[in-house]
A and B are shown apart, each in its own frame.
Chain A
Amino acid sequence: MIAISGVTKTFQRRGGGTHLAIDAIDLDIAEGEFVSILGPSGCGKSTLLYIVGGFVAPSGGSVSVSGRAVTGPGPDRGPVFQEFALFPWKTVLGNVAYGLREAGLSRRDADAKATALIATVGLKGYETFYPKELSGGMKQRVAIARTLAYGPAILLMDEPFGALDAHTRLRLQNELLQLWERDRKTVLFVTHAVEEAVFLSDRVVVMTRQPGRIKAVVDIDLPRPRRRDELLLNPRYQRLVIDLERMIEDPPEEMRA
């Protein structure tokens, strides 16, 4: 479904010269697959996601989605950002209905569909609230609902739970997994949290940094539907977490940082 071939990104540095952020990334993601990109901060994993989203142009290589080359953003790829990026002048309902109105739905239809989605993400009763009145976890639920609303085939999630406290983070991981079990969208999920990646994914792509390259692709052969309390006791889960943690441990890099 997503074909990334030879993607490279260099940034112009302020004082002149260039910085190679990601280098020669090849990755194919099948329809309905949940793939995480795992790596230390600064490894270019978010940049790769932005390139797939069409928000950032690659310096080399190409990305295609369902056989069509990506040249810019589109409603087939819905982003969810760590920063939530909600429209603060819109209510919860206005945010979730926004993409539907853009897609040409009437106000009534858009509002009805948005109201149902708001209930799905557990925010029934908050329709008239403004983003500033919500907690971080609630904001991210709104952001997820806003993206799901316009029905993208692919979800691009950029450390979506990175700004949340540990408890909220676990709850939202569970809820995301439940949502995903229902409609099995293709998900590209960027994170630096090993357990999160193992818990959610079919495959985990481990990246190195400076430059960002793919170090390993690990299949997460754990049964679904997954429950966190069962997984924590599962030796296979423990093994995967330990292996991945060792893989992203990079002593010389850490010492330099």
Chain B
Amino acid sequence: MSGALLRAGGTLKPGLPPVFACLGLLLVWQLYARTLSVGGIPDALSTVRELPTILGDRESLYDILDSLRRMAIGFAIALALSVPLGLLMGRSRLFAALVNPLLMVSYPVPKAALMPIIMLWLGVGDASKLLVIVLGVSLPIIYHAYQGARAVEEKMLWSASAMGMSGPARLARIVLPAALPEILVGCRTGIVLALITMITSEMIARQSGAGNILFSALDMAQYETVYAMILVISALGILLDVAFEYVRGALVGWSEPRHDLAPIPA
């Protein structure tokens, strides 16, 4: 028992505290739902029992995969636009001075609130939802790419230019890798925002997707399905985050100080 849970030194294995946290939350939920038995709040056990029904259903599964596809495409588009923009801002004061006011104004605007307008332009299909995801994901990535590019050591750039490297080449081959640890911090926030905007866009433009299942079930008072979908979406978010942390570790293991975001002391 202790060998399975503890690592040398007597501390818990690093993966375990989040697992315990999840189990603890489910337990609290179960007890709460049982003791109060308020209408519309199913208990944890019957919600978990609902999961195979959703995940076993072809149509639901297809909807969820469709959501993930949109999220991935939206994230990729945002990445492709935001990283060069942020890096340029970080290396050109003039460019930053031009773009920064725009970002400052758009930063606090809830991107999902733009969905109705976007739907008027682009309809209720993929295009609107993708655009909302792109808008939601872009800002943190631009911001972190900007900060990362600004912090690049001048002398590293000088060393490269002494080797004969031109300005644009330095941006791609020195500024980009040097800013990568910071960019990936933005990406981590971006992934969570992609998930949020994905669900919200499907809530507004109900056509398909995980958000659609959730809110249609809510309309029909199928609370087990609602809660089960929340579990599915949360699990997706956690899995994506864990997977991303692995990728990040592999990409920027060279960096110091390590940008350890995971605030979980083992």
Of all chain B residues, the one with the shortest Cβ separation from A152 is B162
Task: Please tell me if B165 contacts chain A, counting CB pairs below 8 Å.
Answer: yes
Task: Please tell me if A60 contacts chain B, counting CB pairs below 8 Å.
Answer: no
Our pick among A85, A102, A150 for the contact of B158 (Cβ within 8 Å) is A85
B176 vs chain A, min Cβ distance (A): 10
Task: Please tell me if B256 contacts chain A, counting CB pairs below 8 Å.
Answer: yes
Which stretch from A20-28, A73-81, A176-184, A223-231 is at the chain B interface? A73-81
- Whether the pair B163, A102 counts as a contact (CB closer than 8 A) is yes
Of all chain B residues, the one with the shortest Cβ separation from A156 is B162
- Whether the pair B254, A103 counts as a contact (CB closer than 8 A) is no
- Whether the pair A89, B255 counts as a contact (CB closer than 8 A) is yes
Our pick among B161, B177, B252 for the contact of A87 (Cβ within 8 Å) is B177
- Whether the pair A85, B156 counts as a contact (CB closer than 8 A) is yes
Interface bin, chain B: 10 to 19
Given A89-B254, A132-B256: A74 and B162 within 8 A (CB)? yes
Cα distance A219–B159 in the bound complex, in angstroms: 31
Number of A-B pairs whose CB atoms are under 8 Å? 64
Our pick among B158, B174, B254 for the contact of A55 (Cβ within 8 Å) is B158
B86 vs chain A, min Cβ distance (A): 18
A6 vs chain B, min Cβ distance (A): 24
Given A130-B254, A132-B255: A85 and B153 within 8 A (CB)? yes
Given A89-B177, A89-B180, A132-B256: A53 and B162 within 8 A (CB)? yes
- Whether the pair B254, A73 counts as a contact (CB closer than 8 A) is no
Given A89-B178, A132-B256: A83 and B153 within 8 A (CB)? yes
Task: Please tell me if A98 contacts chain B, counting CB pairs below 8 Å.
Answer: yes
- Whether the pair B161, A81 counts as a contact (CB closer than 8 A) is no
B252 vs chain A, min Cβ distance (A): 8
Given A53-B158, A132-B255: A87 and B164 within 8 A (CB)? no
**Secondary structure at chain B's binding surface: helix, strand, loop or mixed?**
helix
Interface bin, chain A: 20 to 34
Of all chain B residues, the one with the shortest Cβ separation from A75 is B164
In the bound complex, residues from chain A placing their C-beta under 8 Å from that of B174 are: 87
Given A88-B254, A130-B254: A77 and B159 within 8 A (CB)? no
In the bound complex, residues from chain A placing their C-beta under 8 Å from that of B163 are: 75, 98-99, 102-103, 150
Given A81-B155, A83-B153, A83-B155: A55 and B178 within 8 A (CB)? no
In the bound complex, residues from chain B placing their C-beta under 8 Å from that of A78 are: 162
What are 15 inter-chain pairs, A to B, with CB distance below 8 A?
A79-B155, A79-B158, A81-B158, A83-B153, A85-B155, A85-B158, A87-B156, A89-B178, A89-B180, A89-B254, A89-B255, A99-B163, A131-B254, A132-B254, A132-B256
Residues of B at under 8 Å CB distance from A? 153, 155-156, 158-165, 174, 177-178, 180, 252, 254-256
Given contacts A75-B164, A83-B153, A150-B163, 8 further A-B pairs with CB under 8 A are A74-B164, A79-B155, A79-B158, A81-B155, A98-B163, A102-B165, A132-B256, A147-B159
